[in-house]
Amino acid sequence: MTAITPVSVPDSSRLHYRLMDECDADLLFDLDQDPEVMRFMSDGEPTPREEIDNFLVPFMLDLTQPASGYGLWAAESREKQEFLGWILVREYGYKTNYHNPLIVELGWRFKRHCWGWGIATEAAQAIMAAVKGVTAADRFCAIADEANLASTAVMKKLGMQFIDHRMHDTPKGRFPVVYYEMRVG
């Protein structure tokens, strides 16, 4: 039997990365309690603890594949070892009828106090560099609410281009989003 080698994301200038697991439920809950952080996800409604425990953590564990780099990656400050937020890495449309394993989808959520520092861009770049060495996918993509200008700015800084408007399926319903992508190579 061959041992599975997990993807490792080297520290970047300000951040340390690690795949999150069930022991991180408190961090996920704390992040989702800021109405501004949740503004484009749930109209500012904090995520109830039951939803973290009964949906988000099991969903995260289900999509986590260490050998491909899929999962939620914690981004922590190297200086203070503080959890700042996460980067999602998964196959595009995971568990939907538009699932495409040849596209790696990225997403992010960060604490408000570090917005505007370039943290999301730095983290996504580091994780993309690690994942592109092991993926068979040919594209990276990201989606966001069209009004979420900060997220679309990150997509552009990563080198992604606007492709179209589309609907995104979630357990809470379908939502209109902008879709950006770029080639892996």
pLDDT digits (tens, 9 = 90+) for 135-157: 999 999 999 999 999 999 999 99
User: What local confidence, expressed as pLDDT, does residue 111 receive?
Assistant: 98
pLDDT digits (tens, 9 = 90+) for 59-75: 999 999 999 999 999 99
pLDDT digits (tens, 9 = 90+) for 90-119: 999 998 999 999 999 999 999 999 999 999
Mean pLDDT of the chain: 95
Angle at 101 (CA atoms; ends 95, 104), nearest 5 degrees: 95
Q: Report all structural domains of the chain as residue ranges with CATH numbers, in order of start.
A: 15-183 (3.40.630.30)
pLDDT digits (tens, 9 = 90+) for 14-32: 999 999 999 999 999 999 9
- Which position has the higher pLDDT, 57 or 1? 57
Helices (H), 9-162: 25-31, 39-42, 49-51, 57-63, 119-132, 149-157
